[in-house]
Amino acid sequence: MPLTASRYGKGRVRVMRLTREGDHHTPRELNLTVLMKGAFDAAWTSGDNRACVATDSVKNICNVVAAKNLSLDKEAFVEALAKTFLDTYPQIEELHVDATETRWLRHSVDGAPHGHTFTLDGNGTGYVGLVASRAGAVLRSGLRGFTFMKTTRSGWVDFVDDQYRTLPDTTDRIAATAMDATWTWSGVPADYAAANARVLDRLIAVFGTTVSLGVQDSMYRMGEAVLAAIPEIAEIGFAMPNKHYVPINLAPFGLENSGTVFLPTDEPHGQIEATIGRG
Q: Kindly list the catalytic residues.
A: 10, 55, 244
What is the spatial distance between Cα 66 and Cα 68, in angstroms, rounded to a whole number?
A: 5
Beta-carbon contacts of residue 84 (< 8 Å; ≥ 6 apart):
61, 64, 65
* φ, ψ (nearest 5 deg) of residue 3: -90, 110
55 is in an annotated binding site: yes
Three-class SS string for 109-136?
ECCEEEEEEEEECCCCEEEEEEEEECCE
63 is in an annotated binding site: no
216 is in an annotated binding site: yes
What is the spatial distance between Cα 230 and Cα 199, in angstroms, rounded to a whole number?
A: 8
- Signed CA dihedral, 84, 87, 91, 92: sign only: positive
242 is in an annotated binding site: yes
The residue length of the chain stands at 279
Cβ–Cβ under 8 Å, residues 151 and 27 = yes
What is the spatial distance between Cα 195 and Cα 161, in angstroms, rounded to a whole number?
A: 43
173 is in an annotated binding site: yes
Which amino acid belongs to residue 49?
Answer: N
162 is in an annotated binding site: no
Query: How many Cα neighbours within 13 Å face the side chain of 56?
Result: 0
> Buried b vs exposed e over 201-210: b needs ≥16 C-beta within 10 Å?
bbbbbbbbeb
Query: How many Cα neighbours within 13 Å face the side chain of 166?
Result: 0
Cβ–Cβ under 8 Å, residues 263 and 200 = no
Detail the residues annotated as belonging to a binding site for urate: 55-56, 173, 215-216, 242
Which residues participate in the annotated binding site for O2? 55, 242
